[in-house]
């Protein structure tokens, strides 16, 4: 899941608008536990996630369905995320939705992969601008920022929705779990390729995940100057791997 919205280090000058979904199993459980009893998650609606896709080619239809899923997660919450409601919001029949996504599991996996694609593009942009993957990973979300607030709300709702999905009886693993494995593996590989010391690469990943988890749970941010020093320590010059 990339972290799709804007994220900035507290006390650092690194800028970016992408992110990573942290430690999934634990976070999913915690977020599910924090959901309201009616199954919804407070979310802040934003046209960023609800602007219509006007193309009618298969790719456009697929995107329109995923746009509708994002909008429902943000505006209505988990209780309204059904295949029928997503199809209606996307302006397609349920059969049309199932042509692109064979199940609710596949639909959520599609959204996860799309968020990851957004984050991947932002990582490429950051690297082209001379930043590092580690800098991007260590950026902290700011819940008081509109874009970050929307991002956090989307991830809370999406994680909760994923916990409602069971793998089909004939599947070894749910599609959403496979998507999560792919996403987390890709970012781990990017950090491992950039940071010479594998232990430090893992520490960067764990710190970035932990900071994001704090924001997802609504905990107070780390004191900015302290976090700036943490990031500075972790980003000490390290010769890139060949």
Could you tell me if residue 200 is inside a domain? yes
Could you tell me if residue 220 is inside a domain? yes
State the total domains in the chain.
1
Could you tell me if residue 2 is inside a domain? no
Which CATH number goes with the domain that contains 147? 1.10.357.10
Would you state the pLDDT for residue 169?
Answer: 57
| Average pLDDT value for the chain | 75
Q: Which residue range(s) make up the domain with 225? A: 24-234
Would you state the pLDDT for residue 57?
Answer: 52
Would you state the pLDDT for residue 51?
Answer: 37
Would you state the pLDDT for residue 143?
Answer: 81
Structure tokens at 180: 């999560």
Could you tell me if residue 3 is inside a domain? no
Could you tell me if residue 242 is inside a domain? no
pLDDT tens readout for residues 188-197: 999 999 999 9
* Residue 42 confidence (pLDDT) above 80: no
Would you state the pLDDT for residue 58?
Answer: 58
Could you tell me if residue 17 is inside a domain? no
Would you state the pLDDT for residue 15?
Answer: 31
Could you tell me if residue 14 is inside a domain? no
pLDDT tens readout for residues 107-155: 999 998 988 888 888 888 888 999 899 999 998 888 888 888 888 888 8
HEC per residue, the chain: CCCCCCCECCCCCCCCCCCCCCCHHHHHHHHHHHCCCCCCCCCCCCHHHCCCCCCCCHHHHHHHHHHHHHHHHHHCCHHHCCHHHHHHHHCCCHHHHHHHCCCHHHHHHHHHHHHHHHHHHHHHHHHHCCCCHHHHHCCECCCCCHHHHHHHHHHHHHHHHHCCCCCCCCCCCCHHHHHHHHHHHHHHHHHHHHCCCHHHHHHHHHHHHHHHHHHHCCCCCCCHHHHHHHHHHHCCCCCCCC
pLDDT confidence bin for 11, thresholds 50/70/90: very low
Could you tell me if residue 8 is inside a domain? no
């Amino acid at each position: 899941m990339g972290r799709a919205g804007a994220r900035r280090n507290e006390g650092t000058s690194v800028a970016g608008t992408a992110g990573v979904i942290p430690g999934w199993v634990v976070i999913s459980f915690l977020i599910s536990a924090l959901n309201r009893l009616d199954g919804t998650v407070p979310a802040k609606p934003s046209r960023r996630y609800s602007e219509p896709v006007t193309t009618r080619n298969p790719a456009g239809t697929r995107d329109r369905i995923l746009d509708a899923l994002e909008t429902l997660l943000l505006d209505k919450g988990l209780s309204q995320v059904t295949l029928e409601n997503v199809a209606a919001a996307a302006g397609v029949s349920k059969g049309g939705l199932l042509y692109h996504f064979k199940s609710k599991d596949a639909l959520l996996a599609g959204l996860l992969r799309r968020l990851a694609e957004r984050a991947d593009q932002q990582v490429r942009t950051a690297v082209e601008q001379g930043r590092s993957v580690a800098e991007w990973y260590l950026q902290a979300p700011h819940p008081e920022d509109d874009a970050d607030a929307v991002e956090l709300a989307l991830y809370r709702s999406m994680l909760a929705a994923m916990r409602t999905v069971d793998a089909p009886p004939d599947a070894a693993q749910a599609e959403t779990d496979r998507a999560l494995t792919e996403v987390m593996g890709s970012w781990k590989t990017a950090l491992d390729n950039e940071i010479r010391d594998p232990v430090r690469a893992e520490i960067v990943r764990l710190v970035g995940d932990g900071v994001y988890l704090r924001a997802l749970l609504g905990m107070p941010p780390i004191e900015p100057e302290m976090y700036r020093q943490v990031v500075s320590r972790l980003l000490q010059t390290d010769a890139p791997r060949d």
